[in-house]
Amino acid sequence: MRLYLVTSNEHKYQEAKKILEDLDILFLKAPIGKFEIQADSLRTVAWSAALHAYKILREAVVVDDSGLFIEALKGFPGVYSNYVFRTLGIEGILKLMRNVEDRRACFKTALAAIVPPLDVVLEGEVCGTITSEPLGKGGFGFDPIFVPEGERRTFAQMSVDEKNKYSHRARAFRLFARWLKENFKL
């Protein structure tokens, strides 16, 4: 079976590839861009991106959409995390969180896949807290200000393998691997 991941992020592709490596599939990066709609739910964004990709490729596709949801900011930056990272950046988030006591936040991923004749939407989540200053140089995006529950270090202070123990995206892809195994006997 050929399965296409729709992403322009090589890092995401390698991470997912590692999680799916035990399965008997040819896992490829799709030759098309991810089509993103504006919606308040990651599931909706991921699902329409999967539909769009499947309509063009007519082969098994998987897409993920992720975001950081900060409790005290009513879920902001949420589905628009990439855009907010590029405009306000980490500094902007820390400014919004200045003097805010409730530091709870969750990283979430929705993964949508069309693997004929089946479809699936799965979620991965990791909750934790927002720091008051950036720490660490690893990871990407808002990793330097996020500490997962049960840890004292930010995602940016961890190795890739350590981060993957907790990561929302890795969790969603592990669920997906299990789903593929169960439904397609791979």
Catalytic positions, please?
Answer: 65
78 or 136: CB nearest its own copies? 78
What does DSSP assign to residue 141?
T
33 or 116: CB nearest its own copies? 33
Among 22, 37, 55, 116, binds its own copies (CB under 8 A): 37
Q: By CB under 8 A, is residue 88 in contact with its own copies?
A: yes
CB of 88 to its own copies, least distance (A): 5
Q: By CB under 8 A, is residue 140 in contact with its own copies?
A: no
Binding-site size for its own copies (CB under 8 A) equals 23
If one counts every other C-beta atom within 10 angstroms of the C-beta of residue 33, the result is 12
CA atoms of 174 and 171, how far apart (whole Å)? 5
Q: Give the per-residue contact string, 44-83, with its own copies (x = CB under 8 A; - = no).
A: -x---------------------------xxxx-xxx--x
Q: Are 178 and 186 in contact (CB under 8 A)?
A: no
Cα distances (angstroms) measured from residue 75 to each of 48, 103, 157: 21, 12, 24
Q: By CB under 8 A, is residue 36 in contact with its own copies?
A: yes
What crossing angle do the helices spanning 10-20 and 168-184 adopt, rounded to 10°? 40
